[in-house]
Chain A
Amino acid sequence: MTTPRVYQTEAIIIKRTNLGEADRILTFYTPALGKIKAVAKGNRRPKSKLGGHVELLTHSQLMLARGRNLDIITQAQTINNFLPLKENLETISCGMYISELVDAFIDENLEDHRLFNLLLETLQRLSEGKDADVTLRYFEIRLLDYLGYRPQIRQCTSCNSQLQPVTNFFSSRYGGVLCANCAYQEPVVRALSLNALKVLRLWQNCDSATAYKVKINAQLASELEKVMRDYIRYLLERQLKSTAWLIKLKSGKSPG
């Protein structure tokens, strides 16, 4: 199949880096072409026609021209700018986190319609000011699922025995839950309460509408966050930079 010289796509902008004096390299996720990098010429000048249409965390319709190395964005029109998300420091930070997550996990040109829709849905949820913990955790679970890193949480990942309705253990190295016996022999595990296990099991197997109805208290939210943070750090072999920022932002906030 020959690719046309000019093409159009929907896109969600996930990263921007400066290039030269006034240009930017944009990284964005598209429904049919996956993750793409392209140049937005003159985008740092105030009169840029692309302007805010290619701001981070914006859903836009882009027109692109094939370039020698990177393609060039010739036109852009906002579909949804998720403005409410951008007016709050916490939701901006959550949005930056999911952008970094997608950028870190997804190779270029690896397309997945489901992930595109999940990204849109997640930005919309954050925009509406809904429970960010639930939104982010469900996003992580689904993303890992799409990528083939679905954690094994039905039986013990090591001995295959049925998990008892007690506190079990999560091992990033095993990519799933260990029973108390097996966890005893594994140096790095994290305790996983029965409630956390139930929520993870539900999220793994339900649609987003159901997932978002789950109410989790602060303690459970923090437990799930830590389990997923460990697992993601293990898979990427590094901690995401925005994770540190999210932790800092949370700790600096007075309760209430």
Chain B
Amino acid sequence: MNADFTSASEPIARLIEEFNRLPGIGPKSAQRLTYHLLQAPQETAEALADAIRDIKENVSLCSICFNITDSNPCAICRDKERDHSKICVVEEAIDILPLERTKKYHGLYHVLHGVISPSDGVSPEDLKTGELLSRLNTDSVTEVILATNPNLEGEATAMYLQRLITPLGVKITRLARGLPYGGDLEYADDVTLSRALEGRQEM
């Protein structure tokens, strides 16, 4: 931390420091947020404080899919309309949002809470892999969709999961990797292009 908080009074300095701990917030933004709240009406500040307390007290992980939820099991796992024979495996709970927005997927999810990253010391036992396997062993799941990110760590995690799941005889699919919509062929790297070619479809 390199910002100079010594001129600010103790409670102000404390809030700046707390903001500064958050990802993506540097010392300058932390100061700006703090002074903004100082000038904001009492209710605004209290609503923020309440919201923060609320997520810590009332939000937890779904005991089935490890999605972040305020009820257990989560709304997705409880939904009888959804296809309980499919599980889509994602790295983080936040990855569920874009998939849900597509309205194309009606199965369940499983959140790993990370990816295999040897140099960061993250190995499979730090992820919810065992929990995934026990779901596959007990529930009547017929397809697992691996939706980890298309980068080296995400691929390594998908390969590892494939190795674990294959003996169970469950169908394993991987999200198609190809060109991003709105992207530009000119800037596509060879890996993306060759995978887009491999995954080409008849029109």
Question: Which listed segment binds B: A89-97, A138-146, A160-168, A226-234?
Answer: A89-97
Which chain B residue shows the least CB distance to A77? B189
Q: Could you tell me if B119 and A242 are in contact, using CB atoms closer than 8 angstroms?
A: yes
Docked complex Cα distance between A47 and B179 (Å): 9
A245 to B120, CA, bound (A): 11
CA–CA, A102 and B172, complex, Å: 36
Pick the contact of A89 from B24, B119, B163, B194 — CB < 8 Å?
A: B163
Residues in chain A near residue B116, CB distance under 8 A: 245
> Is the Cβ of A53 less than 8 Å from the Cβ of B156?
no
Would you call B119 and A96 a contact (CB within 8 A)?
Answer: yes
6 A–B contacts from the bound complex (CB under 8 Å): A83-B190, A86-B191, A88-B159, A242-B119, A245-B116, A245-B118
| Minimum distance in angstroms from A29 CB to a CB of chain B | 14
Q: Are B160 and A89 in contact (CB under 8 A)?
A: yes
A244–B123 alpha-carbon span in the complex (Å): 9
Query: A53–B189 contact, CB under 8 A?
Result: yes
Q: A46-B183, A49-B187, A89-B160 are in contact. List 20 more A-B contacts (CB 8 A).
A: A46-B180, A51-B188, A51-B192, A52-B191, A55-B189, A57-B152, A78-B191, A81-B189, A81-B190, A83-B191, A86-B152, A86-B155, A87-B155, A89-B159, A96-B152, A100-B118, A240-B119, A241-B118, A244-B121, A246-B118
CA–CA, A93 to B116, complex, Å?
A: 10
Cβ of B183 and Cβ of A92 under 8 Å apart? no
Whole-angstrom CA separation of A118 from B183 in the bound complex: 35
Interface residues of A in 31-78 (CB under 8 A from B): 46-47, 49, 51-53, 55-57, 78
Q: Among A20, A49, A56, A245, point to the contact of B152 (Cβ < 8 A).
A: A56
- Asked if residues A97 and B188 are in contact (CB atoms below 8 Å), the reply is no
Q: Which residue in chain B gives the minimum CB-CB distance to A51?
A: B189
Least CB separation from B23: chain A residue: A20
- A172–B201 Cα distance when bound, in Å, is 57
Contact with B along A90-113 (1 / 0, CB 8 A): 001100110110010000000000
Q: Is B184 in contact with chain A by the CB < 8 A criterion?
A: yes
A15 within 8 A of B: yes
B151 within 8 Å of A (CB atoms): yes
List 3 tightest A-B contacts by C-beta distance, closest first.
A52-B189, A242-B118, A46-B180
How far, in angstroms, from A60 to B190 measured CA to CA in the complex? 12
B182 at the interface (CB under 8 A from A): yes
A213 within 8 A of B: no
A237 part of interface (Cβ distance < 8 Å) = no
CB distance from A225 to the nearest CB of B (A): 16
> Nearest B residue to A243 by beta-carbon distance?
B118
Whether A93 pairs with B156 at a CB distance below 8 angstroms is: yes
B191 touches A47 (CB 8 A): no
- A5 lies within 8 A of chain B by Cβ: no
Residue of B nearest to A83 (CB): B191
Decide if B119 touches A100 in the complex (CB within 8 Å): yes
Cβ–Cβ < 8 Å partners of B120 in chain A:
241
Q: From B23, B119, B160, B191, give the contact of A81 (CB < 8 A).
A: B191
* Shortest distance between the CB of B111 and any CB in chain A (Å): 18
- CB closest chain-A residue, reference B155: A86
CB pair B189–A241 under 8 Å, yes or no, is no
